[in-house]
Structure 1
Amino acid sequence: CPKSDGTGGPGYFIPAEDNSLEPRGLFSGYVGLALLKDLPDSGGSQFYINFLPQMMLGPEQGAGRVFGRVISGMHNVCRLTRIDPKAKKDESQPPPVADEILSIEIIGKRNHVYELTRLSRPMVNPK
């Protein structure tokens, strides 16, 4: 995320590639696009990597769209600094230093050019 504190966005939203309200299970090592609660097309620049299975989470709890998984190196993922964006900030303490991901290798590539569609605002969930 742009502020390195778990908040903010890129100024646009990425629409879901499918209309399924049944997301994949959120297993350890799955990488997902963070979403706003009840807004399936609200992804932007924030993502998460599951440290543990999160099978109880669904779209109603703000669970994102899974778009990848950690194939190897989960031990390195577990060493990342964990920052809770909801935690009360102690102004007397320096903010935690966010880790940087220096490289990622995409193994399963699409057989076509992927063009990103950008929305100016998220679409409302059709309930």
Structure 2
Amino acid sequence: MDRAPITAGNFLALAKDNFYDGVTFHRVIPGFMIQGGDPLSKDADPTNDGKGGPGYFIKDEFYEGSSNVAGTIAMANAGAGTGGSQFFINIGDNTFLDYDKEPASSKHPVFGRITAGMDVLAAISAVDRDSHDRPLENVTIQDVIISDDSVSVVE
């Protein structure tokens, strides 16, 4: 939270507002990542998944020592400064996405990490999917539980 207060605070605020309840992991690439956070994934049209957000963008935050290693959570976006609600969880070590590596092309700020349940992430990353990496059966986020309520939320 200290290193990416805007990004982490945005995620926490959306979670507390139940924004993520019912969204799916709409993009799954084994050994690489699983992506979710798009409110459009709640509708019946899978072709618009990955195109939605909260209706605003947040500033990118990169910090020394951040790395897209297995278990980290990063902001998904369509370019610099276009993050909002979509995020991905690194299933493998994807250090080629690190902002400080050549070519410095990463636009995906790391803002958290998974502390338990990597086996669940591995199971999600192994689901059958179509040619666009969409799961054939929905993998739905039922509820996001904030376990440390002392964490501040940027509004």
Instruction: Name the residue aligned to 2:56.
Output: 12
Query: In the alignment, does 2:35 pair up with 1:35?
Result: no
Q: Deviations over 1:10-63 (max 9, x none)?
A: 2101123x4x476711010001111223x1x21111001111010011455444
Whether the aligned pair in 1 keeps the contact of 2:76 and 2:83 (CA below 8 Å) is: yes
Distance 1:7 1:83 in 2: 22
TM superposition score normalised by structure 1: 0.62
Aligned length: 106
What SS does the aligned partner of 2:73 have?
strand
Please name the residue that 1:87 is paired with.
Answer: 132
Q: Distance in 1 between matches of 2:146 and 2:140?
A: 18
Gaps of 5+ in 1: 90-94, 117-127
Is 1:76 aligned to residue 120 of structure 2? yes
Q: RMSD value over aligned CA atoms?
A: 3.4
Seen in structure 2, the aligned counterparts of structure 1 residues 85 and 50 have a Cα distance that, compared at 3 Å, is farther
Code of the residue aligned with 1:87 in structure 2: it is H
Unaligned 5+ segments in structure 2 are 1-37, 42-48
Aligned with 1:56 (options 96, 101, 109):
96
Distance 2:138 2:117 in 1: 21
Please, which moves more after superposition, 75-84 or 51-60? 75-84
CA gap of 1:30–1:84, structure 2 versus 1, over 3 A, is farther
TM-score, normalising length from structure 2? Answer: 0.53
Distance in 2 of aligned mates of 1:109 and 1:86: 42
Query: Do the aligned partners of 2:54 and 2:84 also contact (CA within 8 Å) in 1?
Result: yes
How far is 1:72 from its partner? Answer: 0.8
Q: Cα–Cα, structure 1 residues 84 and 24, in superposed 2: closer, same or farther, change >3 Å?
A: farther
Measure, in 1, the Cα distance between the counterparts of 2:140 and 2:53. Answer: 18
- Structure that is richer in strand per residue: 2
Higher-helix-fraction structure:
2
